Structures are given as structure tokens and as C-alpha cells.
Amino acid sequence: MRRSIGAKRNPESAEAILEAAEAVLLEQGYAGFSIEAVARRARAGKPTIYRWWPSKAALLLDVYHRQKRDVDFGSGISLEDDMFRFVRSLLRQWRETPTGDIFRSLVAEAQSDETAAQALAGYMRERRAQTGQIAERAKASGEIHPDVDPAMVADMLSGYAWIHLLTGRLDEDDETIRSVATIIARGLASADRK
């Protein structure tokens, strides 16, 4: 068994646990994923895992975030282009990697498990702030009105992506995604740009 150094994460042990969690998820799917299976695979104690990840959902969110790569938050060229690139890359990520199945399962579990709901809410606060940077850039450039709440823009984009994830429509074409970005950007445009 690997040695823990208490509440502070030992980087080597944490990495072994995350690798084990990814392997268990890949081999057994969400239904077969458990802290016990991860502990066996990582040769770590369940108390160590629970000390660092207070729930199965918290561990799964770290695995999800670790696997979620190459999401494009745009380059600041325009709000419309940034939103298009973000949504397109997120749908592609969910479609082409295990992340879509992981996140869909987490959302489902959060409907009936308070611990999972809290973990998901915490994760979404962080993601909302990051996605909101798209609107922050547009505000700074004067492309949208200064009163626009970046968190609301993040919710609009996430809502569009989530409905596609939860209804199995991850293969949306670029033209449709571009149309959605155009509609949202026009709605957010400052009065002098309309």
C-alpha cells in the first residue's frame, strides 16, 4: 500500500489514484466504478482517497477534468467566434473521448445524490468563471454592453452544450453551432453595435 502523508496530497499517491480511477472507469464503465475498485487498483487505502476526494463524484470530476483537454476558449477575435470555437470543441471532446459519458453520468447521479450534486455545483462554479472569460474579453473590447453578466453568458453556452450532451446530439454541425453563436452574440451586442 502507498503511504499517505495525511490531509495534504502526496503527488505520487494522488497521481496513482487518478490513473487507477481512469483505468477502472475505462475497463468497467461508470456502473462498475467504485472507490473500492480504485483503492485496490492504486494500492491505496480508502480513507486516503476519501480524505482527498470526499465522494465518488469528486474523484470522477477530477478524472473528467484530467481527460478533458483541448477545449478551445477562442482567441478574442470576436465574441461570436470565441463562442463558436468553445461549443464546437466541447461537443467534439464529449463525442470523441470518454468525457461525455463521464459527465452525463455525473449529471444523472447529481439528480438523486446530494454529495454528487454538491461536487457538480462546485465544479460548475469554476467552469462558469472560466467560460465567462469569453464574455469578459468581449466587454473589454466594447463588443458587448458593460452590464452583461459573464456568468449568464457562460450559462447560455453551457446550457446549449448540456442539452446536446444529455439528449445524445453531440454531432451538431458547424453551421448550426455558428448560427447559435451568432444569435447569442447579436443579443449581447452593445446598443452602438446593433
Please state the domain extents for the chain. 11-53, 66-193
Main-chain dihedrals φ then ψ at residue 40, nearest 5 degrees = -60, -50
Q: Give the pLDDT band of residue 100 (cuts 50, 70, 90).
A: very high
For position 5, what pLDDT does the model report? 42
Same fold, 11-53 and 66-193: no
Cα(173)–Cα(24) distance, integer angstroms: 33
pTM over cut 0.75: yes
Q: Has residue 168 got a pLDDT over 90?
A: yes
Give Cα separations from 171 to 5, 25, 30, 102, 174 (angstroms): 45, 24, 22, 17, 9
- Of 36-40, 65-69, 135-139, the least confident: 65-69
Q: Has residue 88 got a pLDDT over 70?
A: yes
Which residue from 64, 87, 187, 190 is spatially nearest to 134, judged by alpha carbons?
87
Q: Which CATH number fits domain 66-193: 1.10.357.10, 2.60.40.10, 3.90.1170.50, 1.10.8.60?
A: 1.10.357.10
Q: Has residue 19 got a pLDDT over 60?
A: yes
Residue 144 is classified by DSSP as B
Q: Are 89 and 124 a contacting pair, CB within 8 Å?
A: no
- Of 81-90, 93-102, 166-175, 185-194, the least confident: 185-194
Main-chain dihedrals φ then ψ at residue 189, nearest 5 degrees = -60, 140
Helix and strand numbers, DSSP H then E, in the chain: 9, 0
Cα(54)–Cα(34) distance, integer angstroms: 13
Tell me the fold of 11-53.
Answer: Arc Repressor Mutant, subunit A (1.10.10)
For position 8, what pLDDT does the model report? 66
Cell numbers placing 30:
461508470
Mean pLDDT, residues 165-180 taken together: 96
Q: Has residue 1 got a pLDDT over 60?
A: no
